Amino acid sequence: MSFEIILKNLVDQVPQSIGAILVDWEGEAVMEHCHCDPYDMRFIAAHKGIILAHLKELQSRDQIGAVEDVVITASEMHLIIGCIDQDYSLVMSTERSCPIGLALYRFRLAIAELKKEI
């Protein structure tokens, strides 16, 4: 299954999904599928590195184990960030009304599929 199909399926299977983007270690877009301006998804994804760097610092300091994913809830949206491996991450945004449990479930399935492809 291609990156494009995995991202399309993720976005299509999550109600109120805005989009998903696969990014490399530098925050550069590899592939995205979204219902918004792709620039918006790329902008969010570029900044995910800052968030992941802080979380990885926390994991090494507090020995909490490897960070797999994180959900950030803001007034207008949810942002889910997940590690595929050392070099790639998946970022997904949804509207605030999205059922976050379902989104996280589908997100983790997409991570598993992307791990097989990378």
Q: Find the length of the chain.
A: 118
* Phi, psi dihedral angles at 76 (to 5 degrees): -110, -15
**Contact present, 89 and 83 (Cβ < 8 Å):** yes
pLDDT tens-digit map of 68-104: 888 999 999 999 999 898 889 999 999 999 999 999 9
Over the chain, what is the mean pLDDT?
Answer: 88
Residue 89 makes CB contacts below 8 A (sequence gap 6+) with 22, 23, 45, 48, 52, 81, 82, 83
At residue 86, the pLDDT reads: 84
Walk me through the domains of the chain, giving residue ranges and CATH numbers.
Answer: 3-117 (3.30.450.30)
Q: Cα–Cα distances in Å, from 80 out to 61, 62, 63, 103? A: 23, 22, 22, 9
At residue 116, the pLDDT reads: 95
At residue 43, the pLDDT reads: 84
Q: How far apart (Å, rounded) are the C-alpha atoms in residues 58 and 94?
A: 26
Write down the pTM of the prediction: 0.88
